[in-house]
Amino acid sequence: MNLFDKLATIIKDRKVRLPSLPSKPPMLRVSLGNQSTGRAIVFSVALATVVVATGIFFAVRDVASSHWDWPEAGAEYNLPQKMGTQLAKYEDGTESHTLQINLADGVRLDKLWLKNLSLGKSGLTNAFEINRTSGVTGAMVNVGQFTIINSSAPTLDWANMEIGTVVLSAYVDGHTNAIVIDSTISQLIIDSDRGSGTYVAENSVVDRIVINTNGDTGAFIGEIIVDNVTTTTGAWDFDYMKIGILTLDNTNKFGNGTGINSASAVFNSSIKSRSITDNLVDTPLKIQ
C-alpha cells in the first residue's frame, strides 16, 4: 500500500468542519450624542481646517514676498546666486529700491552689464557705489575691462584703484585728475569663463546701485559695461578696484552746475595707472 492509499484509509468518510461566517457582518455604530453635539463637532473640524489653510497661505505668501529674482530693485543679491532678499526700509519708513550686488569671496563673473537704468533718490549721497564690505581688508574688485558709455551723473569721485590703461574723454563741469603714473602696474586680463556667469540689469528705475566685495580674496569679473545709466542726484563713488582697461568715453557727461573751476569729476591720487590718456573736456554742465 502506497502513501496515498494509507491517507485514503485514514480519512475515509471523516468530515472536516470549517467555522461558519454570519450572512451579514455587524455594523459599527458610533454615537455622537444628540444633534447639537454632532453639529458642534462638524463645526470644530471645519474651523480647524480653515485655520490651518489660512496659516499655510500666509506662510507661503511671506516666503514669496521676502525673495526677489535678479535683477529686481529693493533687494540684495549675493552673486552668483540670483535670488535676492529684501532690503530694510529707509529711516523715514519708505521702501528701498536699491539694487545691491554682493560679490562673494573669490567669485568669478564673465560679464556684469548695467544698461538703461535711471538712478537717484533725494537724501542719498551716492547713486552708484563700488566698494568693499566693512571689515574686509585688502580685497579688490578685479575687472578685465570696464567700459562706461552714454551715461551721466552730477558728480564723480574715484579712488584706491590700480589700472593698466585708462582713457578719459567725458564732458565734465570741471575736474581734478591726480592719477599717478606707475610703470609697475600690470595689465590685468581676466579671460577664463570657467565657473562664471553673465548678469544683466536693464530697463529699470532704482534709487542707487551698490556693488560690494565680501571677502579678502576679492572678486573677478571679465567685463563690466555701464551703458545709458543716468543719475538725477548723487555721486558715482568707486573704490578698491583693479582694472585692466578703463574707458570713459565722450558720450558721458558729469556736472553739478558749480562751474568748471569747481571739480564735478575727481580722480584721486590714490589711483595708479601704467598708461593714462586724458581727453576730458571742461564745459558748464548741470545734470538733474
**Same-domain status, 145 and 275:** yes
Determine the average pLDDT of the residues in 133-154: 92
**Same-domain status, 52 and 162:** no
Determine the average pLDDT of the residues in 22-45: 58
Give residue 157's pLDDT: 98
**Same-domain status, 82 and 206:** yes
Tell me if 143 is assigned to some domain: yes
Euclidean distance between CA atoms 59 and 44, whole angstroms: 23
**Same-domain status, 95 and 128:** yes
Closest to 251 in 3D by CA, of 125, 115, 81: 115
List, for residues 9-18, the tens digit of each pLDDT value. Answer: 445 545 545 4
What are residue 211's DSSP bridge partners?
A: 101, 130
Determine the average pLDDT of the residues in 53-66: 47
Residue bearing the bigger pLDDT, 21 or 253 = 253
List, for residues 222-257, the tens digit of each pLDDT value. Answer: 999 999 999 999 999 999 999 999 999 999 999 999
Give residue 44's pLDDT: 66
DSSP secondary structure letters along 95-140: PP--EEEEE-TT-EEEEEEEEEEEE--TT-SEEEEEEE-TT--S--
**Same-domain status, 54 and 104:** no
Instruction: Output the CA torsion sign for 31, 36, 41, 42.
Output: positive
Tell me if 10 is assigned to some domain: no
Structural domain harbouring 40: 33-65
Q: What is the pTM of this model?
A: 0.76
Tell me if 26 is assigned to some domain: no
**Same-domain status, 167 and 57:** no
Contact yes or no for 149/252 (Cβ under 8 A)? yes
- How far is C-alpha 185 from the chain's CA centre? 32
Euclidean distance between CA atoms 15 and 50, whole angstroms: 62
pLDDT-based confidence at residue 172 (cuts at 50, 70, 90): very high
Give residue 219's pLDDT: 92
Domain-ending residue, one of 65, 84, 105:
65
**Same-domain status, 131 and 42:** no
Q: How many domains does the chain have?
A: 2
pLDDT-based confidence at residue 62 (cuts at 50, 70, 90): very low
Contact yes or no for 80/109 (Cβ under 8 A)? yes
Instruction: Name the grid cell of 282.
Output: 571742461
